[in-house]
A and B are shown apart, each in its own frame.
Chain A
């Protein structure tokens, strides 16, 4: 399962996609919305995806992880739209015969999802909205506000 959806994620669905009789270890990573980012209060937050490519890239990552860790099954759900503090933004799961591969595969999965899947996050702080990881070209870095 590799899915981008509006609305709440389902841990049960993601788990259901990886559990099977040969899977003695199942690892789950939950990514939730924090109330602060780099010292700034987060009032609200929105995720946007290039949906078709996001699903394609997640599936490609899943294939790579499955090749790197034989016997592993993985699944990912990522949420888009408006989220509140505490909401789940991403659910990743990996199953394997034993816990070692399950932990390693789950870590590899979430790290690759964060680095490669075309999903963007816009936070609203006290000073208004800003896109995470986007450096404003007008911003020279020689003034007071914090830079990521």
Chain B
């Protein structure tokens, strides 16, 4: 059986910084939106400076950084939006 993990979707400028549309990040029972974001920054240090401007969504909802993340959740990193 594979290790528990989440798929992290990357959009717009975040996708450009990381160089991919998605990354797989391992999770455990203590994982949160913030810990997933931190893990992504560890994999891609250029992202770290942008953290204050980033929001995290889990399964299509904005969440606080202390919100739990479980294996199989769809996590997305949301850079500053610019619709309209």
CB within 8 Å of B: which residues of A? 31, 47-50, 52-54, 56-57, 78, 89-90, 110, 113-122, 131-135, 137
- Check if B11 sits within 8 Å of A120, measured CB to CB: yes
Range, interface on chain B: 20 to 34
Q: Is the interface of A mostly helix, strand, loop or mixed?
A: mixed
Q: Interface digits, B49-71 against A, CB 8 Å rule (1 contact, 0 not)?
A: 11001000100111000000000
CA of A122 to CA of B83 in the docked complex: distance in angstroms? 10
Closest to A90 in B: B84
Find chain B residues with CB under 8 A from A132 CB. Answer: 82
Q: List 29 A-B contacts (CB under 8 A).
A: A47-B83, A48-B11, A50-B57, A53-B76, A54-B83, A56-B60, A56-B61, A78-B83, A78-B84, A89-B84, A110-B84, A113-B83, A114-B81, A114-B82, A117-B81, A118-B11, A118-B57, A118-B78, A119-B83, A119-B84, A120-B13, A120-B81, A120-B83, A121-B82, A133-B81, A133-B82, A134-B12, A134-B50, A137-B46
- Check if A117 sits within 8 Å of B83, measured CB to CB: yes
- Check if A50 sits within 8 Å of B78, measured CB to CB: yes
CB within 8 Å of A: which residues of B? 9, 11-13, 16, 46, 49-50, 53, 57, 60-62, 76, 78-84
Find chain A residues with CB under 8 A from B57 CB. Answer: 50, 53, 118
Shortest Cβ distance from residue B56 to the other chain A in the assembled complex, whole angstroms: 11
CA of A137 to CA of B50 in the docked complex: distance in angstroms? 7
**Among B46, B50, B60, B78, which residue has its beta carbon within 8 angstroms of that of A52?**
B60
